[in-house]
Amino acid sequence: MTQKSLFEPYALGSLTLANRIVLAPLTRNRARAGFVPSELAPTYYSQRASAGLLIAEATQISQQGQGYQDTPGIYTQAQIDGWRQVTDAVHAKGGRIFLQLWHVGRVSHVALQENGAAPVAPSAIRAETKTFVNNEFLPVSEPRALSLDELPGIVEDFRKAAANAVAAGFDGVEIHAANGYLLDQFLKDGSNVRDDAYGGSIDNRARLTLEVAAGVVKEVGAERTGIRISPISPANGISSSDPQAQFDYLVAQLDTLGLVYLHVVEGATGGARDVAPFDFDALRRQFRNTYIANNGYDLELANARLEEGKADLFAFGRPFIANPDLVERLKAGAPLADLDQATLYGGGAKGYIDYPALVPADA
């Protein structure tokens, strides 16, 4: 394949994407009162609508699912209405957009939970990580283990959130099962020491993720449902003694559900791609539909992997923050702007919607 094939249209289920470049979900902590997307969010996302697919920032499915201050939700009508402004703005530019559905599990703080309750997790094991709360990074709180009779409610919250996302105009949803959050916590034995039907064996640890995926597919359809995983990322203090076996099994089961895409963080989230041995190509072989590759991709690596047939779409994260026209810059071979680290999380327009395009829209 030639380099230009990265910029050619791609069929994602019933959707036609303008190119193979994906905006990865990026938490920016700018939601307003009621965890409604910022009034600046429609501008932010529409500025980046030239990506073949936009995956909107991780969005909590319930208050219990929140782990950071000022992140948006998708469980109230006001939140649905706020997201509708975003999807309308993106669609007006010809873009396609999915919403990432999020439950953080133990990566939370009592200040964010209803009545100061403890965060929930598969097991009462505190994560060795921090969260952004009260305008600073603080150690996460001690979690409590979810009871068996609470787990159907988690599945139901994901289902409702998917329905709400479609009501808000999203083209589909991505189930967040990566980066040490709730579903990843169930998948990995460093955080899941349960001895019931949701712990112990590989299939038991995959059970909740598969139930969530089946519930979302039943609600909005397989062509509107993707999932994100991170088999070997140590993000948020997560660990696994058997990642290859665990994720080979999980992906094979997800394939039977017909999900439209598998979004894989290859390596440590935002870090080394070779943090631990893992055969990502095995996942690709087990999944019949679209494989989205993520982590440390640039134009050269994406083109090489595309030519080898190792992935279909390629997710870019931080480069999209300072380069709203990243697709155009990559296509032109233009230099990329640097992002302002101080404005990544929280704040207003500065460092959010004020990064200039290579060629101004009104030129």
Distance, first Cα to last Cα, the chain:
33
List the structure tokens of 89. Answer: 């703005």
- Compute the distance between CA of residue 92 and CA of residue 89 in angstroms, rounded to an integer: 5
Q: Which of 181, 198, 249, 297 is catalytic?
A: 181
- Give ∠ CA 348-316-333 in degrees, rounded to 5: 105
Q: Return all residues near 251 (Cβ < 8 A) that are at least 6 apart.
A: 229, 262, 283, 286, 287
Distance CA 236, CA 219 (A): 30
Give CA angle at 19 (330, 266), nearest 5°: 75
b or e along 56-79 (b: 16 or more beta carbons within 10 Å of the residue's beta carbon)? bbbbbbbebbbbbbbbbbbbeeeb
Q: What angle do CA 235, 240, 244 make, to 5 degrees?
A: 110
Query: CB neighbours of 23 closer than 8 A, spacing ≥ 6?
Result: 48, 51, 53, 54, 55, 315, 316, 320
* CB-based contact 318:339 (threshold 8 Å): yes
Six token digits for residue 71 = 């992140």
Q: Which amino acid is at 70?
A: D
Active site residue 261: no
193: Cα within 13 Å, side-chain hemisphere: 9
Compute the distance between CA of residue 128 and CA of residue 176 in angstroms, rounded to an integer: 20
**212 and 152 in contact (C-beta within 8 Å)?**
no
Query: Which residues, at least 6 apart from 206, have a Cβ–Cβ distance to it below 8 Å?
Result: 186, 187, 246, 249, 250, 253
CA distance 67 to 120: 11
Tokens representing 217?
Answer: 């597919």
Give CA–CA dist 322/19, Å, rounded.
Answer: 20
Asked if 123 contacts 193 with a C-beta cutoff of 8 angstroms, the reply is: yes
Q: Which residues are catalytic?
A: 181
